[in-house]
Amino acid sequence: MAVVTSGSTPNSAPAWVALADLAGRVADVSLRDRFALDPSRSERFAGSVGDLWVDWSRHPIDDEVLGLLCELADQRDVPEFCSRMLAHDPVNVTEGRPVGHTALRAPDADTGGTGTLGRMADLADRIRGGSLTGATGKPIRAVVSLGIGGSHLGPAMAHEALAHLAHPEVAVRFSSSLDGTDLTAALAGLEPTTTLVVVCSKSFTTSEIMVAADSATAWLREGVGDDVSRHIAAATAAPQRASARGINPDLVFAIPESVGGRFSLPSAVGLALMVAIGPEAFHQLLAGMHAVDQHLGEEPIDGNVPMLLGLLDVWQRSFLGATSLAVVPYSHGLRRLPNHLQQLMMESLGKRVTADGSPTAGPTGPVVFGAGGTDSQHSFFQLLHQGTDVVPVDLIGVARPVADPRGAHHDGLMANLLAQAEALAFGRTDTEAAALGVEPDLVAHQEFPGNRPSTVILLPELSASTLGQLVALYEHRTVVQAAVWGINPFDQFGVELGKQLATRFGDLLAGGGAGGDEPSSELVRRYRELRDRD
């Protein structure tokens, strides 16, 4: 088998050329026909990773396509790239760094419990047990985590997903928006004397977080006086900056520089989550992640579930022209998952140049969106079923629910998931619509084209371990796509320009000038007029 060098483009790989030729013929065989011709399809095009069952049979693929995708992964050195990532080699080439997030969930990540993870567990146990006291001697009974992007989306998502494990007497809240309404809501009803604020910022310079930290500090001082050292903690890769802001070094928890924000859930940014669910459950979350790490590093390509899902994403984006991916969890606890995955996938794959700075050979990451299951069916599923774009869909379900009043909800919920997978794949023909008694002039409106791809992911239950497995599955799936396309999934320079301009506009709004002849000078004037109007 020919192996393409790392400096070449993906479309120079022999398997890429063969897949491009096959793509034009995929529409010749419908998903209806594929299942009719191969009744074992749903068993063969599915597999397990950890405790998760993943079914990708409702994609326009066959053995030839899958075989070529596996060859493409081999020719693009995807397994080697993943192995280097797992070995913490410097695969983040644009920043000259290793990638360390998988090290945080390895069993030996904190042997002896004296490192960051052990210190986090000690603090969490003291808060949960009521022995950690604030400046006035009252026990800490609330934790408010301040972060944005990766220091917020993952922990907030996990906190909601695992709310059934939360300590009943400790309030844990999250705030991320520069809009002061968000912080006000997070602090509402809490007492400064019993609250710990955790400032999560890798650089400890992120303006949104620093503004929120200053406001939270002022709120604390109103309740406990000038000494708030027992009420503020930090998760950061810049402990010296945290100390410079007066934060007690005993309450500063290190984030390795090699861990990117969107991959940082198992790091110190998960401190508030650990307080909520307890150190034992947090360790189960890490163990679930590690199980998928092992799977990625050990399984051959044709049985490697995250690798196969990443290759299917490449198939859909690069060969079939899909521009979007919908993620639809049929689980109330997972309703924030699409928000987390938007950052994970779009920040990692939103690149127009390869790791060496040359233009990409074609389109890269899709637009990722989604929401909870049955709500989605009554919002954007109309477009998924009958719109002009074909949008691959991930349907995520949980077999054993956290709650099922009267035993009347959960089977119905899962019936909806299964129904959507079938309706998307097989649709309804005009003949079938007419047979249902649809008026002839309405048949075209009630015909469903089908052939809309979906992946079904089933969790046995929503536990700390299965959540960790699900998150790691998407992390590795994302990295696989990047490796095929030759882009760096670990940097995010695209967020910097807006930050820099915001600083300039902030100075402008706080000052006085009209902004000269800048394109936005009229908007500046209008904003000031509305702001200052009585």
| Cα 189 to Cα 511: distance, rounded to the nearest angstrom | 35
**What six digits make up the tokens of 375?**
């709500």
Distances (CA, A) of 142 to 170, 224, 382, 460, 491: 5, 15, 42, 32, 34
3-state secondary structure of 232: strand
Catalytic residue among 347, 351, 475, 476: 347
Short-list 84, 474, 215, CA closest to 92: 84
What's the gap between Cα 384 and its chain centre?
A: 22
Alpha carbons 479 and 485: distance in angstroms, whole number:
10
Pairing of strands 142-146, 195-200: parallel
Distances (CA, A) of 59 to 34, 65, 303, 319, 461: 10, 11, 17, 13, 26
400: enclosing H helix or E strand: strand 393-400
Active-site pick, 222, 378, 496, 529: 378
Residue 331 and residue 409 in contact, taking contact as beta carbons nearer than 8 Å: no
CB count in 10 Å sphere of residue 210 = 17
d(CA 187, CA 216): 8
Q: Show the CA angle centred on residue 402, arms to residues 397 and 405, nearest 5°.
A: 105
- What is the sign, positive or negative, of the torsion defined by CA atoms of 139, 142, 144, 145? positive
The catalytic position among 164, 409, 445, 499 is: 499
Q: What are the residues whose beta carbons fall under 8 Å from the beta carbon of 495, sequence distance 6 or more?
A: 149, 347
Look at the block and give the residue holding tokens 């930050």: 499
Q: Is 476 a catalytic residue?
A: no
Helical residues (DSSP H) of 225-346, grouped into ranges: 239-244, 271-277, 279-298, 305-314, 337-341
User: In whole angstroms, what is the distance from residue 228 CA to residue 114 CA?
Assistant: 26
Q: How far is CA 296 from CA 172, 227, 349, 452, 476, in A?
A: 33, 48, 19, 28, 8
Catalytic, 499? Answer yes
Read off the amino acid at residue 489: P
- Side by side, the strands of the sheet bearing 393-400 are 46-49, 52-58, 454-461, 393-400, 324-330, 367-370
Neighbours of 214 (CB within 10 A): 12
Q: Which residues are catalytic?
A: 347, 378, 499
